[in-house]
Structure 1
Amino acid sequence: MAFLPIPPLDPEQPAWFPPASQALADPNGLLAWGGDLSPERLRAAYARGIFPWYSPGQPPLWWCPDPRAVFDTRRIHLSSRFRRRLRSSNWIVRADTCFDAVVQACASAPRPGQDGTWILPAMREAYGELHRLGHAHSIEVFDGDRLVGGLYGVASGEMFSAESMFSADPGGSKVALAALGHWLAGWGWPLVDAQITNPHLVSLGAQAISRGHYLARLKVLAAAAGRPGSWSGLAALPAASLAPVIPD
């Protein structure tokens, strides 16, 4: 990767990253390459608004795009039609009860325009370790005992960075996102980082803000105590309870 005009990361300095202002404009946000996916490096990255994303055969590539896609935890949008469907739903939402299964489902989910997955075995292993240390979390939607949707991501203080989500049944990921927003808003966490915007995320309420604005917010939120440790003790949330509290 020496041909890329970005610096390599030093394996001996897992907490070091170049300033986000040095990220490339094309491809948008590419900042550094190399290093590893150790818990220390991942935690340092997310606290700075940086995340890994790369393809098979590449070393880790590290990104901090501009603009940044974020959700206001109080304004995640579900359509009126979907909310009407939720009112009669028997789905239940839990947290941190099957993290590895959620990550595997996200890795296996077909994506329009994508061939394969960026959630490689090394990524699954790394985020699994971060989960066991209490810093990565999953939101899981169940129909009885069957997992029908979910998402996972990394908490840095009072910022949650969502990595990926999936639906085994239509709407499963929407419910997971709405439940995440419900819990985070209740704790006073204002934002969910969604990294890069797309039409689907916009339909759910994502907004694009400048990297500078995002990093300024993150600096304050990442310094907060947050909720390290497992979130599995959260009371199961009936999906139907989300219908009246999510604004149109």
Structure 2
Amino acid sequence: MSLHLPRLGVEPDAPFPPVESALRRPDGLLAFGGDLSVPRLRKAYRHGVFPWFSEGQPILWWSPDPRTVFETAALHPNRRFARTLRGSDWTLRADTAFAAVVTACARAPRPGQDGTWITDAMRDAYAALHATGIAHSVEVFDGDALVGGIYGVSIGRMFFGESMFSARTGASKAALFGLARQMRRWDMPLIDAQVGNPHLDSLGAASWPRERFIASVDVLAEARAPVIGAWTGAFGEIPAAALGTPD
């Protein structure tokens, strides 16, 4: 690997290679090595790069082309799911169960995947990002039970989605639609979904050329963040039923 792929410098602020130099096969593999410190992760996301590796592998850094995204202005439940939501007793909150959401995402079965990329090292890294107010979760509760959620990284007015889970049918979708609803109110237009799959496509994901995605990140990540620190108070508590009606 080291003969063909750049190794990151040991300094947390060491530069990443230009994303245009990423491999075509596997798509988007850019570099390896480094660490998962807060400064390095902040720098990575700010430049459209994310870590993704399995237990036993070195840290691998990616910037695929094309990039899968959700435009929050267009992210709404279809009629059938909106009707389901209107009859739901679930509630949505933010940043009240971040560690539990990450753990549930790590344990969620993924078709075609053996194991998880959310290793103990990754959990620790995103917990550190959460403690600094950069990583956030949106949680779906049925009473006191956590039944779904999504987590990711927010820089400026950009949200980089990492993973989501459902313990009840439709709960991860409710978390995604709840996140998009609040992002629209905060003038945050874009959710990075990294790499596409049929499930994301069914929810309305779009495929953007990497150049367009990076140009958008350059602008949005430099914008003033609508909320500094935890999102709990600003997000409030949203009845899932409200997601079934136009906002």
- TM range, normalised to the smaller chain? over 0.9
Q: Is the 8 A contact 2:12 2:37 kept in 1?
A: no
Q: Specify the code of the residue in structure 1 equivalent to 2:231.
A: W
Q: What secondary structure, in the 3-state scheme, does the structure 2 residue paired with 1:111 have?
A: coil
Paired with 1:217 and 1:228, the residues of 2 have a C-alpha distance of 21
Residue aligning to 1:239: 240
Q: Is the 8 A contact 1:54 1:118 kept in 2?
A: yes
Q: Specify the code of the residue in structure 1 equivalent to 2:77.
A: L
Give 4+ residue runs of structure 1 displaced > 4 Å after superposition.
none
Residue aligning to 2:43: 44
Residue aligning to 1:116: 115
1:50-65 aligned at under 5 Å gives the runs 50-65=49-64
Shift, 1:2, TM fit: 1.8
Q: What secondary structure, in the 3-state scheme, does the structure 1 residue paired with 2:88 have?
A: coil
Name stretches of at least 5 consecutive residues in structure 2 with no aligned partner: none
Paired with 1:120 and 1:161, the residues of 2 have a C-alpha distance of 19
Q: Specify the code of the residue in structure 2 equivalent to 1:70.
A: V
Shift, 1:232, TM fit: 1.1
Shift, 1:15, TM fit: 4.4
Paired with 2:198 and 2:5, the residues of 1 have a C-alpha distance of 30
1:127-206 aligned at under 5 Å gives the runs 127-206=126-205
Q: What secondary structure, in the 3-state scheme, does the structure 1 residue paired with 2:101 have?
A: helix
CA RMSD of aligned residues (A): 1.0
Paired with 1:144 and 1:215, the residues of 2 have a C-alpha distance of 40
What per-residue deviation string (whole Å, max 9, x for no partner) do you get for residues 136-193 of structure 1?
0000000000001000000111100000000000001000000000000101111000
Residue aligning to 1:107: 106
Q: Specify the code of the residue in structure 1 equivalent to 2:177.
A: A
Q: In structure 2, do the counterparts of structure 1 residues 114 and 181 end up closer, same or farther at CA, with 3 Å as the change threshold? A: same
Q: Is the 8 A contact 1:151 1:162 kept in 2?
A: yes
What per-residue deviation string (whole Å, max 9, x for no partner) do you get for residues 6-33 of structure 1?
1000112434111101101110000000
Residue aligning to 1:221: 220
Q: Specify the code of the residue in structure 1 equivalent to 2:2.
A: A
Shift, 1:79, TM fit: 2.4
Q: TM-score, normalised by structure 2?
A: 0.97
Paired with 1:15 and 1:40, the residues of 2 have a C-alpha distance of 10
Shift, 1:56, TM fit: 1.0
Paired with 1:24 and 1:201, the residues of 2 have a C-alpha distance of 24
Shift, 1:77, TM fit: 3.7
Q: Is the 8 A contact 1:95 1:139 kept in 2?
A: yes
Q: Which moved more, 1:70-79 or 1:28-37?
A: 70-79
Shift, 1:197, TM fit: 1.0
What per-residue deviation string (whole Å, max 9, x for no partner) do you get for residues 196-221 of structure 1?
11111111110001000000011000
Q: Specify the code of the residue in structure 1 equivalent to 2:173.
A: K
Paired with 2:156 and 2:174, the residues of 1 have a C-alpha distance of 24
Paired with 2:58 and 2:76, the residues of 1 have a C-alpha distance of 36
The count of corresponding residues between Structure 1 and Structure 2 is 245
Paired with 2:7 and 2:76, the residues of 1 have a C-alpha distance of 39
Name stretches of at least 5 consecutive residues in structure 1 with no aligned partner: none
Q: What secondary structure, in the 3-state scheme, does the structure 1 residue paired with 2:41 have?
A: helix
Paired with 2:76 and 2:68, the residues of 1 have a C-alpha distance of 15
Residue aligning to 1:90: 89
Q: Specify the code of the residue in structure 2 equivalent to 1:244.
A: T
